[in-house]
Structure 1
């Protein structure tokens, strides 16, 4: 297995270049049907057959927009004012459903044989090649998305879709943790600190992300182990620690504490994605008590992407939506709301000029980016999911 190498996507930064990486995100899901759906997708790919998708939907040609549009995305992942403005300005009524992992997204599309009725979908980059080969994504009519010109070229032409024929960067981010300094009085700096605190003063007051890769990742990152390891001995040690030592102290498995647990002070120690941490702190009645920590000595980096389902029933509206959200003003609103870098040109400087708050949770230094590593879906997937399920059982979740 390859070592976690320094990250490799060049992203512009005022006065410097910075390394970002071959990205992925939130990769595993506990339900057998979800894992099975992903396995089916992977199995269909090598032979280059027709794949699981059904009859392709109509293609976009710049005609009249349909009256409705559906989106299947991560939870609370767009500024509400941007979504409402789309309908107000362009007409189509928008409905949004959310998923918790790429596996869940893929499984639903596979189970429906590509006819699930969704238009806009938001997969993570690492999954896009398989989705293309299995005919789950519609080829974009880029003439209908002129606002691609507002994207930073560093976030276009990624390895999973070099021509951006099927996808456009939506946002990228990383994983860390936060803690309530009125409850936890010592200084926490590393994943080792997090894991120790969870078993001691934060016992019964700790929340972790509801994602197998993130839960096992904490162990690997804290021990200096490649979190994509397939070494059974290392995985066995991870399982013993997560299930027998950590899980009994976990109070919740929550991927979106920013919309509830953080503002409500439901837990004292939380594993969290950077944008969700920012949302939660900004919504808190006492934001000063919360301390954010970028997981160290290593953590992950992921990138999500706008894409259109191959069977999208409203392709004209879908293209119009992607074009709409790529305007500089809407990109800025989304950065402010979701707390993630959207890949737009000069967005960091624009955000600073506009006085957006807590930008240290949105934009990262080259040194910080060097600690972030991409994940992989590999033969250890079933073990990772098994550890996750055992941890939830041990925690009584």
Structure 2
């Protein structure tokens, strides 16, 4: 469990900020900071078998999909929200199979360790015929090569956004990001509040594997990030979409979907998002069934429902990230989705991304981030 959720870890915020607060009518109220509980549809008989309990990232699931599923199946759907993989894992680990949740949404890189710790139940793909709707690249990933435990929910990557009115030269790489952070964007730099992503700035810009466990390379990363780069950082945020809207910084590391959300909410024409070379994190959040699930048939029905083309499209349209279904990009183009290349990275970008893996270096990465934050704060 210390590998999965080190005490020093800084929790990542929800994939999508709660920009509108409690804005969804008829979907329940906030049940605490960063947490929502959805119970949009009552079951006819109220029996336990007609329930589905979901534990997902905050503001990450289209309420209309939840309502439709509840009505079609006659289920009461309860959705609670977490703010980080660590928070979700801590709850499942403490409960030891009695959390009460049927569906959970871990990031792919955490899946092998969750399986090893008995937190996830195997899937029965015969109950998920819509699995056939997934693109080949959306399944059989390194964290679950035989599709035994998880199925793609959303897919995203990391890059950066910059203000072209302040940084006038072309920006294409992580090396450009590092250079601008100490020059044109000095004093106006924001990075993700995530150990893997902050270390990735150094690793990618210096041609190293993002998943390296080489102690010498990690020592070099620590020296650069703590002694040099930390002084250039003004802000740590894992969802800077509101910073984009408010133009708080000139250079921000961010996820592609969050950049699109911020640009869409902003009336500023000088933002440009970059899929930086040579590589960046390719992350995938996944549908999984929690160990001790009380409603396995309902859980399988939910996953199969989310793999319907129109349902998956609505989820993509709501949170700004593709769900891995065949033909989804073409459908988005036909329906004139704004900034479609920020939802679906071009093929040449996808081909050079690196899927993040939770390795034995995680504790070192957490230590590096904490040291960077201490220096930046000073």
TM over 0.5: yes
- Give the C-alpha shift of residue 272 in structure 1: 0.7
Report the CA distance shift for 1:196/1:76 in structure 2 as closer, same or farther (over 3 A).
Answer: farther
- Give the C-alpha shift of residue 374 in structure 1: 2.5
Q: SS where residue 164 of structure 1 aligns?
A: coil
The equivalent of 2:222 in structure 1 is: 239
Q: SS where residue 55 of structure 2 aligns?
A: strand
More displaced stretch, 372-381 vs 324-333: 372-381
Q: 2:252 aligns with which of 259, 262, 270?
A: 270
Q: 1:99 aligns with which of 52, 75, 83?
A: 83
- Give the C-alpha shift of residue 177 in structure 1: 0.3
Report the CA distance shift for 1:104/1:295 in structure 2 as closer, same or farther (over 3 A).
Answer: farther
Asked if structure 1 preserves the Cα contact closer than 8 Å seen for 2:66 and 2:77, the reply is no
More contact order relative to length (CA 8 Å, sep ≥ 6): 1
Asked if structure 2 preserves the Cα contact closer than 8 Å seen for 1:92 and 1:317, the reply is no
- Give the C-alpha shift of residue 373 in structure 1: 1.5
Report the CA distance shift for 1:71/1:202 in structure 2 as closer, same or farther (over 3 A).
Answer: farther
Q: Give 1:9-24 correspondences, 5 Å limit.
A: none
CA distance, structure 1, for counterparts of residue 103 and residue 314 of structure 2: 19
Report the CA distance shift for 1:65/1:162 in structure 2 as closer, same or farther (over 3 A).
Answer: farther
CA distance, structure 1, for counterparts of residue 144 and residue 64 of structure 2: 30
The equivalent of 1:48 in structure 2 is: none
1:51-107 Cα offsets, whole Å, 9 max, x none, are: xxxxxxxxxxxxx77454333333433234323433454442332312323x44333
Q: SS where residue 263 of structure 1 aligns?
A: helix
Q: What is the alpha-carbon root mean square deviation over aligned residues?
A: 2.8
Q: 1:172 aligns with which of 155, 162, 182?
A: 155
Unaligned runs of 5+ in 2: 12-46
CA distance, structure 2, for counterparts of residue 160 and residue 351 of structure 1: 28
CA distance, structure 1, for counterparts of residue 358 and residue 77 of structure 2: 36
Report the CA distance shift for 1:243/1:154 in structure 2 as closer, same or farther (over 3 A).
Answer: closer
- Give the C-alpha shift of residue 162 in structure 1: 4.3
Unaligned runs of 5+ in 1: 1-26, 36-63
Asked if structure 1 preserves the Cα contact closer than 8 Å seen for 2:6 and 2:363, the reply is no
Q: 1:117 aligns with which of 89, 94, 100?
A: 100
Q: Are 2:312 and 1:312 equivalent residues in the alignment? A: no
Aligned residues: 341
Q: Are 2:371 and 1:390 equivalent residues in the alignment? A: yes
Asked if structure 2 preserves the Cα contact closer than 8 Å seen for 1:66 and 1:316, the reply is no
CA distance, structure 1, for counterparts of residue 9 and residue 374 of structure 2: 19
1:335-390 Cα offsets, whole Å, 9 max, x none, are: 22323221111112111122112111122334322321123333322221110111
Q: SS where residue 171 of structure 1 aligns?
A: strand
- Give the C-alpha shift of residue 283 in structure 1: 1.9
Asked if structure 2 preserves the Cα contact closer than 8 Å seen for 1:182 and 1:289, the reply is yes
Q: Give 1:1-397 correspondences, 5 Å limit.
A: 31-32=7-8, 66=49, 68-90=51-73, 91-101=75-85, 103-258=86-241, 260-286=242-268, 288-396=269-377
More displaced stretch, 265-274 vs 141-150: 141-150
Asked if structure 1 preserves the Cα contact closer than 8 Å seen for 2:190 and 2:249, the reply is yes
Report the CA distance shift for 1:265/1:96 in structure 2 as closer, same or farther (over 3 A).
Answer: farther
- Give the C-alpha shift of residue 243 in structure 1: 1.5
CA distance, structure 2, for counterparts of residue 383 and residue 331 of structure 1: 37
